[in-house]
Amino acid sequence: MRRPSSKSFILLAVTTVIYSSLYLSVNWYSFYYQSQNFLYWPWELEIPLVDWFILIYFSAYLSFLPVFFGLNYQGHLKIAKALIVSGFIGCMIFLVYPTSCAYQRDLNEVENFKLFYSFLWTQDNPTTLMPSFHVAMSAIFLLPMAKHSRSYGMKIFYGCWLALICVSIVLVHQHHIIDIFTGLILSYFSLKIVERIKNHG
């Protein structure tokens, strides 16, 4: 485990502000001012809400920790750039083709963790679904860690964590299945773009 430098803490704060501001502002704009599209298979609406998966859903916000304590500042900078690139690309997609959630948000359907769901549904409008920023963000953090880890056990851990996050966005009725795949694609290209810029810089 590395001790992050002061530069890494500043980078974390700046990246968090930029990424969150991008998403929340476009999410707000899309909810109030855009006509929404729906991209899902009808059978998806039969998928039950599994309330305890909200814990895995929120664990995505901790997925930066392996990067933060496992990489040096240059590694942090690369991941931060990929995250911001994904934010700009994702927001452009949201503005060009806004998508909304077909699941009904009803706290009466939630037996446990009502406070978590109430917070999520209050802060995040049911728009800007595709690609999933939740999946893209988690993949940008966890895929490089899985790739470079020397331990097969840790590779499996990171892969399983990401897979569970992908499943969770559907099981908490926050996203549809297509949002998972587009989120993964967004993370892949964002990492590749940053890598290519670095190699040609």
**pLDDT of 46-82, one tens digit each?**
999 999 999 999 999 999 999 999 999 999 999 999 9
If pLDDT is split at 50, 70 and 90, which confidence band does 199 have? confident
> What pLDDT, on a 0 to 100 scale, did the predictor assign at position 102?
97
> What pLDDT, on a 0 to 100 scale, did the predictor assign at position 198?
72
> CA 14, CA 167: separation in Å to the nearest integer?
29
Higher pLDDT pick, 106 / 199:
106
Domain coordinates in residue numbering, the chain: 6-200
> CA 2, CA 4: separation in Å to the nearest integer?
6
Phi/psi at 103 (5° precision): -75, 145
If pLDDT is split at 50, 70 and 90, which confidence band does 13 have? very high
Q: Are 139 and 187 in contact (CB under 8 A)?
A: yes
> What pLDDT, on a 0 to 100 scale, did the predictor assign at position 200?
66
pTM summary value: 0.95
C-alpha distance from residue 21 to each of 8, 18, 27, 125, 142 (Å):
20, 5, 10, 14, 22
